[in-house]
């Protein structure tokens, strides 16, 4: 992994960067925007490597001394900020504080690059700089200097001060197509093309999510979970309890199971609107999606989705998981959604 050739998708922003290098018109600061996990950081690192590559003018060769140091993560002129633990509490807060920006970015930017042509600073989730930190960085961005290049990434550009945004060249990173993710999954995860298709559909345009999906889990948990949504025989209590158990068994982070269920209901809604298999995410569960869509109407499906949203927020608020799972089990299986949907949604 080194140059642009290894990046999946994002032809447009990469073309912009390469052309800038070819024409000697690289901006002092770039702001990469786009969803989590689409590949902003991968492109940023490839760009940083290309800027100091000793062989190629507009890409990283992967073999020169500079490219090798980049690949090993020890190039002295590439500064990738990480969140740091608070010196007092030892806790890592997901913020860049002013001291860190001063020490790791501003101070370093005064010196010449040690080995490369330029020094590249990468600030991921740049919107998590404190306002003080952002203002300190702004001063540096306002006094551009050819030896420093700043790469800022964010999912939420609107959270960055407009003064910072206006100092950067904006590059948008769109979601990857299912084909692009499928390619990544087949190569990186070593799965069949058919499995890759499902993973790609579930990953929602994000390579990060695709890589994090656990295939075995998907196969062992997903389909029985969806099938349980369709169980009608027997007492509600028994079925709901079984559903609750399955939700709990789905893993530490209950949000993942909740998202799976939401995705399934989303598919059922989609099927009611337009029964086109190409638009269904859970393509390996197509018959279940179809049955569900035939049995429940739009209002029912919405009510159940609302329960899932509610449950997700309860998980985020650390409400006891057993309780959430039980409540959700009842709501998902009752003909009319009950306890969760009556409550107001917590913020
Ligand atoms: Zn090179």
Extract the tokens encoding 344. 């107001």
The rounded Å distance from CA 121 to ligand 1 centre is 18
Q: What is the pLDDT of residue 345?
A: 52
Range 39-65 burial, b when 16+ CB lie within 10 A, else e: bbbbbbbbbbbbbbbeebebbbbbebe
pLDDT band at 346 (very low <50, low <70, confident <90, very high): low
Is the per-residue pLDDT at 315 higher than 80?
Answer: yes
Residue 194 lies in a domain: no
Q: What is the pLDDT of residue 273?
A: 85
- Which residues are bridge partners to 96 per DSSP? 129
CATH of the domain at 270: 1.20.272
Q: Which phi and psi angles does 311 have, rounded to 5°?
A: -60, -40
The rounded Å distance from CA 124 to ligand 1 centre is 24
Where is average pLDDT lowest: 123-127, 227-231, 313-317? 313-317
What pLDDT digit, counting tens, does each position of 91-115 carry?
A: 888 899 999 999 999 999 999 999 9
Residue 135 lies in a domain: yes
Residue 302 lies in a domain: yes
- Are the C-beta atoms of residues 81 and 120 closer than 8 Å to each other? no
Is the per-residue pLDDT at 342 higher than 70?
Answer: no
The rounded Å distance from CA 289 to ligand 1 centre is 50
Which of 173, 199, 226 finishes a domain?
173
Q: Give mean pLDDT, residues 236-262.
A: 87
pTM given for the model: 0.69
CATH of the domain at 149: 3.40.50.300
The rounded Å distance from CA 146 to ligand 1 centre is 20
Q: Which phi and psi angles does 154 have, rounded to 5°?
A: -160, 150
167 and 227 assigned to the same domain: no
169 and 241 assigned to the same domain: no
Extract the tokens encoding 227. 């099938």
| Max Cα-Cα span within the chain | 74
The rounded Å distance from CA 15 to ligand 1 centre is 18
Is the per-residue pLDDT at 224 higher than 80?
Answer: yes
Extract the tokens encoding 1. 């992994």
Closest CA to 9 of 42, 31, 33: 42
Residue 179 lies in a domain: no
> Alpha helix locations (H) across the chain?
11-22, 40-52, 65-72, 98-100, 107-109, 131-142, 162-165, 178-189, 193-203, 207-212, 215-217, 223-229, 236-249, 254-273, 286-295, 298-316, 321-333, 339-342
242 and 332 assigned to the same domain: yes
154 and 226 assigned to the same domain: no
Which of 154, 173, 192 finishes a domain?
173
- Are the C-beta atoms of residues 4 and 59 closer than 8 Å to each other? yes
Residue whose tokens read 């912009």: 16
142 and 284 assigned to the same domain: no
The rounded Å distance from CA 5 to ligand 1 centre is 13
What range does the domain containing 287 cover?
Answer: 214-342
127 and 18 assigned to the same domain: yes
What pLDDT digit, counting tens, does each position of 23-63 carry?
A: 999 999 999 999 888 889 999 999 999 999 999 999 999 99
Is the per-residue pLDDT at 307 higher than 60?
Answer: yes
Q: What is the pLDDT of residue 176?
A: 83
Residue 191 lies in a domain: no
The rounded Å distance from CA 21 to ligand 1 centre is 14
Percent over 70 (pLDDT), the chain: 96
Q: In total, how many domains does the chain have? A: 2
Cα separation, 15 vs 4, whole angstroms:
10
Residue 317 lies in a domain: yes
């Amino acid at each position: 992994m080194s140059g642009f050739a290894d990046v999946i998708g994002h032809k447009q922003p990469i073309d912009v960067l390469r052309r800038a290098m070819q024409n000697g018109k690289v901006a002092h600061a770039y702001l990469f925007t786009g969803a989590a996990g689409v590949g902003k950081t991968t492109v940023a690192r490839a760009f940083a490597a290309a800027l100091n590559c000793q062989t190629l003018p507009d890409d990283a060769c992967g073999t020169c001394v500079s490219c090798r140091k980049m690949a090993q993560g020890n190039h002295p002129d590439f500064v990738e900020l990480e969140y740091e633990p608070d010196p007092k509490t030892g806790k890592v807060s997901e913020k860049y504080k002013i001291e860190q920006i001063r020490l790791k970015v501003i101070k370093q930017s005064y010196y010449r690059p040690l080995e490369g042509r330029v020094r590249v600073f990468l600030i991921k989730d740049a919107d998590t700089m404190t306002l003080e930190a952002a203002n300190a960085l702004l001063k540096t961005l306002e006094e551009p200097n050819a030896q420093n290049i700043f790469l800022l990434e964010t999912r939420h550009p609107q959270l960055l001060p407009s003064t910072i945004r206006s100092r950067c060249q904006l590059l948008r990173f769109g979601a990857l197509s299912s084909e692009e993710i499928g390619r990544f999954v087949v190569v990186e995860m070593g799965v069949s093309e058919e499995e890759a298709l499902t993973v790609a559909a579930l990953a929602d345009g994000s390579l990060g999510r695709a890589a994090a999906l656990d295939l075995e889990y998907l196969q062992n948990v997903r389909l029985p979970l969806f099938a349980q949504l369709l169980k009608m025989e027997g007492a509600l209590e028994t079925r709901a309890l079984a559903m609750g158990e399955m939700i709990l068994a789905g893993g530490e982070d209950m949000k993942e199971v909740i998202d799976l269920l939401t995705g399934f209901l989303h598919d059922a809604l989609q099927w009611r609107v337009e029964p086109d298999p190409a638009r269904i995410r859970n393509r390996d569960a197509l018959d279940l999606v179809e049955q569900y869509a035939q049995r429940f109407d739009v209002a029912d499906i919405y009510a159940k989705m609302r329960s899932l949203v509610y449950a997700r927020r309860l998980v985020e608020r650390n409400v006891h998981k057993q309780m959430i799972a039980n409540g959700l089990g009842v709501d998902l299986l009752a003909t009319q959604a009950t306890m969760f949907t009556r409550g107001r949604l917590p913020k």
